[in-house]
Amino acid sequence: MKKVGALIFSLFAIAFPALAEQFLAVSDIHFNPFADPAIVAKLEAAGVSQWDAILASSTVTAFSTYGSDVNDPLLRSAIGEMKKQLPSPAFVLISGDFLAHDFDKNYQQYATDKSQTAYTAFVTKTIAYVASKFHNAYPDVRVYPTLGNNDSDCGDYAVAPNGAFLADFRDVWSPIVDSRSFERRFPTGGYYHADVAGLKNVRVIALNTNFFSTNYKNPCGKPGPDPGLRELDWLDGELDLARAEGKRVWLLFHIPPGMDVYDSVEGGKCPNLTPKTFWKNEYEQKYLKITAAHQKTIAGSFAGHTHQDEFRITSGDFIHINPSVSPVFGNNPAFEIVDVERNGDIAGYTAWHLPNVTLPWQREYSFDEAYGKSRYDVAALTAVAAAIGSDTATREKYFNYNSSGSAKSTAEALATWQAYWCGLKAMTGSVFTACDCAPAPKP
C-alpha cells in the first residue's frame, strides 16, 4: 500500500511539476499627491498617518487619465483590484518609480514651505503613504521594492549614495521587506538581497540601476568612489555567495540594460539613426559579463521604467519588464500576477488592466494563452520574439499587450515595430542599428 501511495505521489508530482506560488508584480506607480492642489498644505502639515483621511476628503474623485500620473482615487482602485484578484500573494515585487514625474517642480509650485528640509520630509511621507497602502492591503506579506529614477529627494536620476533619502526609504520599507541586507546595505547605495518568502532557496537581489544610467548625476552627493562600479562588484560577490549557498536568484531593478528604443526612434530614422542605450557602456558591459558568468544561478530578472509590458533577452537571461500603473504615457494602468515554480522558474503570468482608465478592471491576457508557451524562459521568449518578427498576427497581439490595450499607443508602436522588435535582443547601438536598418523579416 505504501508503494502504491508513493507511486501516486510521484505521478502527481510529474503531472503538476511544482507550481508553488503566485506573486504580484507592480511597476511605475508614480503617485502624485499634488493632483488636488487645494489639500497640499494639509498634507505638508500632517503626519503620514493622517494622509489617508486628507486625501479621501479631496473633491477630486475621478481617476487621473492619459497624460497624468496616478492620483489617490486611481491608486486606491489599483491596489484594491490587486487585493481582489490575488488576496494572498506569496510576496510582492515593485520595480520602482513610486514618485510622480516632475515631483520637485510640483512641490515648488504648490507647497508653502519650499525649503530642502521640508521637501525631503514631503518626499519621505509620499513614499511612506504608498508603502502603507500596500501594507494595509497585504499586512502579512513581504514586499520587495527597488528604486526608480524618479525616487529621490534631489531630482530625476539623482539619488545620492549614502544620502538621507536612502536612509529614510530604508526606514519606511524595512518592516515590510524584513531583510538584514536591506537594513544594512540599502542606505549605502539603494541595493540589497532578500530570501524570498514562500519559496525555498530563491533569493531576490535588488539593484539600483540609476547609477548605471546615461542620465545619472549626483548633485547632492559627496565625491567618492564610482557608485556604479562599487555596486557591480557587490553584485558579483552576491552571485558568488548565492551559488555557494545553493540559491537561485531573481534580479530586480528599474532601468533595464539595452536600448532606449523610444529615444532612438525619436532621434532619427535609418540611415541617420542615433541609437541610445539606457546604461552607460562601461556598466553594461561589466554587468553582462557578470550575469553571463552566473547564468546557472540567475533564474530571471524583473524591471520597469518603459511603462510597457515587454521583455528583453540577454546573456542567457530574460528580463521581464512590468507594465506601469501610471497612464502618463498613454498606456492603460496594469499589473501582473506571476506563477512561479518551487525552484524559482517562472511558469507564466496573467495581466490585468484598466481599459481607457475607466472601470471595471479587466483580465487582459495570460502568457500561456496568448503565445502557447507553458513556461516563461529564454527559450519561450526567443520563440515569441521570432514570431513577432515574422508573423503579423503575433506582432499585432504583442504590441496591443505592450501598451496594456491602449489603441493609440498600439498604433504608434506598430508604426515603428521593427525598432521595438530589434530592441528585444540588441544590447548595443551597433547591433540595434544593423537590425533596425536591415530589411524587415519575411513571413
Burial 121-131 (b: 16+ CB within 10 A, else e): bbbbbbbbbbb
Residue 423 to residue 443: CA distance in whole angstroms: 19
In this structure, what are the phi and psi dihedrals at residue 305, rounded to the nearest 5 degrees? Answer: 80, -45
In which element (H, E) is residue 407 found?
A: helix 407-415
- Domain 17-436 sits in CATH at 3.60.21.10
Burial class (CB in 10 A: 0-12, 13-18, 19+), 415: exposed
Q: What's the order of all strands across the beta sheet hosting 317-321?
A: 192-195, 202-206, 248-252, 298-303, 317-321, 310-314
- Name which of 434, 427, 148 is nearest 280 in CA terms: 427
For 232-297, the DSSP string reads: HHHHHHHHHHHHHTT-EEEEE-SSPSSB-HHHHHHT--TTS----BSB-HHHHHHHHHHHHHTTTT
What rounded mean pLDDT belongs to the chain? Answer: 94
Taken in order 211, 216, 220, 222, is the CA torsion positive or negative?
Answer: positive
pLDDT of residue 19: 56
Measured between alpha carbons, how far is residue 345 from residues 132, 301, 374, 380 in Å? 30, 11, 11, 13
pLDDT tens-digit profile of 18-34? 556 999 999 999 999 99
- 309 in Cβ contact with 321 (< 8 Å): yes
Residue 371 to residue 394: CA distance in whole angstroms: 8
Quick check: pTM over 0.75? yes
Q: Is-cis flag, bond preceding 271, omega within 30?
A: yes
Alpha-carbon torsion, ordered 221, 169, 303, 101, to 10 deg? -70
**pLDDT under 70: residue ranges of the chain:** 1-20
97: left (phi over 0), alpha (psi -120 to 50) or beta: left
Domain boundaries, the chain: 17-436
User: What residues have CB less than 8 Å from 239, skipping those under 6 apart?
Assistant: 205, 249, 290, 293, 294, 297, 298
> What is the percentage of the chain residues whose pLDDT exceeds 70?
95
- 298 in Cβ contact with 89 (< 8 Å): no
Burial 184-204 (b: 16+ CB within 10 A, else e): ebbbbbbbbbbbbbbbeebbb
Residue 165 to residue 151: CA distance in whole angstroms: 9
Reading the block at residue 89, the C-alpha cell is 500573494
